[in-house]
Structure 1
Amino acid sequence: MSFFDRLKSSLQKTKDQLFGAFEESAAPAASGGTATVGTRTRRIESADALEEALITCDVGVAATDRIVESVRRKARRGDDLLPLVREEILSILQGAAPPPVTGAHPRVVLIVGVNGTGKTTSIGKLANLLKQEGQKPLVCAADTFRAAAVEQLEIWTRRADVGFVRAQPNSDPAAVVFDAIQSAKARQLDPVLVDTAGRLHTRVNLMKELDKIKRVAAREVEGAPHEVLLVLDATVGQNGVAQAREFMKVSGVNGIILTKLDGTAKGGVAVAIAQDLRLPIRYVGTGEQIDDLVPFNPREYVDALFEDAW
């Protein structure tokens, strides 16, 4: 199955929710803007109908307001409005650009997120994806206070057949990162993917831990960490945006891995993240298998969401 087909399949629940709301608001064509889809006429130009459809998919208030206003401004009587909605969603997603590519070697990527979001499995999947792209990733288990997480991460890295560095339980996470960077240099592995603790409720301790990791990484590789990716569970919808705000305060997040997209109708949260936080979605989880993580492409996202919609 191609990346696009996997993304389309994962967005099916979101798509059903979105266009189901449009169908529920269907009415005979009369005056005002309408959108004709197949043999159905959907009155989605009315603010209430369009707003409700977007909110139910967790697009968020700010993005919904922007989309509704854009459609009102651009629509003409009798227009098919769905292309206007699609165009504005694409514009929002493209407005959140990923950080520039660095020439540093090895690249150091910190991966953060609360426990239960799929962080550990996402790291294993990301390592596998990068290897398939011809890179030579090394995974660093710096969440040293959760032995189960380290064991799980080791299982995933074995499945991906990539390098792995761990330490004794309760070791200094920054020391593990130092060892991983040295190992990557010696073995010419790149990038270093660092799993970090997800204890957001103890923000002060987490901040100190991350600061120390960053200092060690920056001392060993210029510009490190080069990316800080936050793993968010799509099924929590707008709560994920709140989580992202907190992690931005303590870790300098500059990209998102959105997991469990296949299990929710709240896939619109990707739009909320781009609009509210200006953070790019870098990867999306589309299932439970090791190859069920795909690079996020804004155009493919909207193509998958709106395919066969008109």
Structure 2
Amino acid sequence: MNHILVTGAAGNLGGRVLAALHRRGVPVRALVRHDDRAGALVGSPEVVVGDYDDHHRLTHALSGVHRVFLVSANGPAQVAQECAVIDAAVDAGVSLVVKVSAHGADPEAPVGFWRAHAAVERHLAQSGIRSVVLRPTYLMSNLLGEAPQVRQHGLLPSPPLSAPLAMVDPDDVADVAAHVLLGGTGPDVTQRTLHLTGPEPVTLGAVATLLGEIAGHPVQHLAAPPEQAQAAMRAQGVAEPVVAEILRLFAALDQGAYAATTTTVADILGRAPRDVRDFLHRHAHLFQPAA
């Protein structure tokens, strides 16, 4: 029987948690929104197709499950949807929920994404389920979205940002999640918050220099003015409320919100967190021009 449910199993972090559990030989149930994503999941898990708004499918997905990995995309429905999963987990008798939140989550935070995570964290704490909240900083995988700009134009664009980021490898986040899901926090832990960072803060200028080495041509960090960044995101089809929150997020990051490091990844996994150079080299083919 699959006692662990991984939500968002076809996504960036959910897929990595699925892979981390597969490497450990653990059978898993995966929740995906569309059945055309099921065949690409690592390890051929048991798949349930459904979303967080469908109580019937959630109930089915949680049947017999003891532990849940909870992650969802930022957006207007995030709080209601994640709280629906938590409520369904209570009804199903789940014993542990591991939720992905964000470093900076706080009811009074200047960024709406962070306030949303704080609201879900509060609901989770009030649910009575044993829980562990993962608060990663800026995920290194965010850099992959700029691979076409790096390949074609030698640019790493962003909204205004000069402060360093203690960005974290998403595989480290997944390894921590897998460790916790398999009982790594100990039975005495009722609620716990883990702040996850990389080993050192780096600027996007330094990241651009590393990308230049990998791509084989110079790469420059382009910190676009807010109006230009806003127009670029709109052109990519990003919803207006999300555009506004991304700009608020980068304004907070430019104030140093993600500059500090923690030892949490090393403390839990017994090894140093991976650095950005390692991450970029592992994904070098995405940044290099086609031969």
Smaller-chain TM-score range?
A: 0.3 to 0.5
Task: Please report the TM-score for the alignment, with normalisation by the length of structure 2.
Answer: 0.34
**Structure richer in helix, relative to its length:** 1
Task: Please report the TM-score for the alignment, with normalisation by the length of structure 1.
Answer: 0.32
Tell me: higher relative CO, structure 1 or 2? Use CA pairs within 8 A at least 6 residues apart: 1
Q: In terms of Rg, which structure is larger?
A: 1
